[in-house]
Amino acid sequence: MEGPFRRHAAYRLIKPEVPGLQLALAGSMAHDDPEGWEIYRHIREAAENDFQIHLFTNLTGVGNVEVNAFQRLSDVVIQKSIREGFGLVVSETLWKETPIVAGRAGSIPLQVRGGVGGFLVDSVEECAEKTLWALQNPEEAREFGVKGRELVSERFLLIRLIADDLRLYGSLLGTLQPYEPVAKAGLAWEERDPVCGMRVDPLVALEYEGESYHFCSESCREQFKATPEYFLRAMSYRSRRSS
């Protein structure tokens, strides 16, 4: 619920550097969320004296089409979540090749990492700093979005889920085929991140304490380091199930 306030605070920090800056806050109001309505009231009060802050909700006729337009045409999108599940807005934005500045929460780090998609931030000040960089370096920032679309295409579309199902069937039938980058490298297996289960390229993956555990991102690597016994136990269980 604090996300809109954090975006507003970051906007205030950036505004002196970019006088023409506009902030569009778009969201959906739920009738059974009394806390949400209180937040909405506070945001309206905070924005009423600034004509460059625009507040849009489903109450004012803003739906999927309008949100799509915002994601496509914005210079940068901010998703400053403090709690999150997958965070679908991130992949939606990156699919439109728009750079994003996002909170390090939930599964957002799986979608934004190391120059792919945009920036992960932990504070309002860092959010403002990275957003300002994106506004002042539009060509470089757009390249982040282009790389983000490539990541979404590879990992988060329905066709990837279908491919995973086909590989599962292939493994059960004894005809498992490695995915293309592995095959081109002349290898006969594919590596999976022990934390999230994502497919990873063994040629560029990270390692943990000299062992051949490969990770898709620093986020998964850090989770593994925090409780390695948990993930190793899960890997052992999956291994027994498949044998």
DSSP assignment letter at 77? E
- Per-residue pLDDT tens digits for 149-200: 988 888 888 887 887 788 778 777 776 555 554 444 444 455 677 777 776 7
Statement to judge: residues 53 and 107 lie in one domain: yes
CATH number at residue 101: 3.40.50.2000
Range of the domain at 143: 3-148
Judged against a pLDDT cut of 60, whether residue 243 lies above it is answered with no
Could you tell me whether strands 77-79 and 100-103 are parallel, antiparallel, or unpaired per DSSP bridges?
A: parallel
Name the packing angle between helices 3-14 and 124-136 (round to 10°). Answer: 50
User: Cα–Cα distance between 129 and 106 in angstroms, integer?
Assistant: 22
At 94, list the tokens. 């990156």
Judged against a pLDDT cut of 90, whether residue 101 lies above it is answered with yes
Judged against a pLDDT cut of 90, whether residue 97 lies above it is answered with yes
In a domain, 153, yes or no: no
Residue 203's pLDDT is 54
pTM: 0.70
- Per-residue pLDDT tens digits for 20-37: 899 988 877 777 677 777
Given 100, 121, 148, the domain boundary residue is 148
Given 148, 182, 215, the domain boundary residue is 148
- What's the mean pLDDT in 142-153? 90
User: Cα–Cα distance between 149 and 144 in angstroms, integer?
Assistant: 9
Statement to judge: residues 163 and 141 lie in one domain: no
Burial (Cβ within 10 Å: 0-12, 13-18, ≥19) of residue 31: exposed
In a domain, 199, yes or no: yes
Statement to judge: residues 13 and 126 lie in one domain: yes
Which of the residue ranges 57-61, 117-121, 153-157, 181-185 would you say has the lowest mean pLDDT?
181-185
Statement to judge: residues 127 and 38 lie in one domain: yes
Mean pLDDT of the residues in the chain: 79
User: Cα–Cα distance between 51 and 73 in angstroms, integer?
Assistant: 19
Residue 242's pLDDT is 45
- Per-residue pLDDT tens digits for 216-242: 777 777 778 888 887 777 665 444 444
Statement to judge: residues 178 and 238 lie in one domain: yes
Residue of 234 and 70 predicted with greater confidence: 70
Q: Of 76-80, 111-115, 179-183, 225-229, which one has max mean pLDDT?
A: 76-80
Given 123, 148, 173, the domain boundary residue is 148
Residue of 52 and 47 predicted with greater confidence: 52
- Return the percentage of the chain with pLDDT > 70, whole number: 79
Q: Please work out, in degrees rounded to the nearest 5, the angle formed at the alpha carbon of residue 67 by the alpha carbons of 65 and 72.
A: 95
DSSP assignment letter at 78? E
In a domain, 219, yes or no: yes
- What's the mean pLDDT in 103-129? 86
Judged against a pLDDT cut of 50, whether residue 147 lies above it is answered with yes
Statement to judge: residues 9 and 112 lie in one domain: yes
Strands of 77-79's sheet in order across: 77-79, 100-103, 118-121
Residue 19's pLDDT is 87
**Domains contained in the chain, number:** 2
Q: How many CB atoms lie within 10 A of CB 222?
A: 12
